[in-house]
Amino acid sequence: MESIYWVLNWACHRKCTHCYEDRFRPYVRGALEAVVREAEDAFPRIIANLPERMTYLDTSAPDDSEAGFKERRGRIIMAGGEVLLDPVRERVLYPVLEALNARYRNQGGVDISIQTTGDLVTEQILEDLRERGIRMIAISGMDDFHVGMEGDKRKPLIDKLHTMFEKTGYTEHSARTGFGEWQKNDGPTYLFFGATEDAWIGKIWPRGRAWDNGLSRATLKDNFCNAWSGGLGFLNHRYAGSEVSIDPTGDVFPCCLKTKAPIGNVTEEKLTDILDSLVGHPAFEAINMGHPERMGLSHGWDVGTFYEKSKTKDPKGNDYQNLCIGCDRFHEEVLAPVIEDIRQERLRALGVEAGPLVVAK
């Protein structure tokens, strides 16, 4: 597989207004211990069910091999929440990095990156991460939505981080050249990005606190599915362009935005088995092609119906229409029980009994 976006933990030291996930927030005392323990308990089983090789065939680079294309090293992106919070970093992030490198060392390798807001980075942490084979650190809090990072206020932190990265041997990489390009560097790299006007996430996803606060400016023209970190290509796990998202508990989604229902859980079965079981299903093939408006064609929803279901009012009372809304409603009204039936069929074949996965409200 080319890419896995793994949300390691729900804990964060911020509660940003534009966050796509309500569970990313500060936790204290027993609540913090609970979410850290949840991630700590799940990650060994998640790693055990990841693909045998984190490599993919590059369809833009044909060769004379049996597979017909060059095999390239894939990547796993660690995100939160905030992965550098003390208990998360020591009890989850560092052990996961060590386990992943051990798992893939003799299986073609893997490139690992993390996303962090940047304000918890220290030279010692950078050294610790490099010792554990990190290839990229993406500073993702560089936007006006992060308190204290508005406009020129973020410049002192950016300058400080530049100094620390250079001192510890990291090379700067530009997000504008594509996230995958950093893998061509020999050593660890870093970059800065955020939800700015010129960024791909600038329209803000209709999710979580961003939705509750009426911040999404996406329209029907903004097809988040038909892009990287959307559902585009997620089923084609052997080839370039495939990425899935995994939550701290192991729930799997075809996009970072997250569909209303997970497609399976990798603490209980292999990731590739989950994906392969959905190949050929009309709804998931539509997501895979980046055309969610066609998800319901075999279930009585024509494209016009999907567009109509994509209409709503945002929390501020404004008219709103985006394909993500239609996708949510299709899952709620039609697809969630279909997904569960497919999952239970897979689990029965494994001799496993499990309760249903949680469908988001």
pLDDT digits (tens, 9 = 90+) for 164-215: 999 999 999 865 555 556 566 677 999 987 655 655 566 889 999 999 999 9
CA distances from 319 to 20, 134, 306 (A): 20, 44, 16
What was the pLDDT predicted at 202? 66
State the pLDDT confidence band at 246, using cuts at 50, 70 and 90. Answer: very high
Per-residue b/e over 52-61, b at no fewer than 16 CB within 10 Å?
ebbbbbbeee
For residue 90, the model assigns a pLDDT of: 97
pLDDT at residue 141 in the model: 73
What pLDDT shows up at residue 38? 98
Q: Are strands 251-253 and 264-265 parallel, antiparallel or unpaired?
A: antiparallel
Given a contact cutoff of 8 angstroms between Cβ atoms, the answer to whether 232 and 289 are in contact is yes
Q: Model's pTM, two decimal places?
A: 0.93
- Residue 266 tokens, joined: 């990798």
Q: Which of 12-16, 144-148, 150-154 is the most confident on average?
A: 12-16
Reported confidence tier of residue 10, pLDDT bands at 50, 70, 90: very high
Q: 247: closest CA among 231, 259, 237?
A: 259
DSSP symbols for 188-235? -EEEE--S-TTSTTTT--S-HHHHHTT-----TT--TTSSTTTTTTTT
Q: What is the pLDDT of residue 175?
A: 56
pLDDT of residue 203: 86
Cα–Cα distance for residue pair 251/266, rounded to 1 Å? 7
The verdict on whether omega for the bond into residue 202 sits within 30 degrees of 0, i.e. cis, is no
Burial annotation 63-78 (CB, 10 A radius, 16+ → b, else e): eeeeeebebbbbbbbb
More confident call, 198 vs 24: 24
Element (DSSP H or E) covering residue 288 = helix 282-288
Report pLDDT digits (tens) over 28-87: 999 999 999 999 999 999 999 999 999 999 999 999 998 999 999 999 999 999 999 999
Mean pLDDT score across all residues of the chain: 92
For 295-327, write each residue's pLDDT tens digit. 999 999 999 999 999 999 999 999 999 999 999
Q: Locate 24 and state its tokens.
A: 């990313």
Burial class (CB in 10 A: 0-12, 13-18, 19+), 162: middle
Using an 8 Å Cβ cutoff, are 73 and 133 in contact? no
Half-sphere exposure at residue 22, Cβ-oriented, CA atoms within 13 angstroms: 8
pLDDT above 90 (res 143)? no
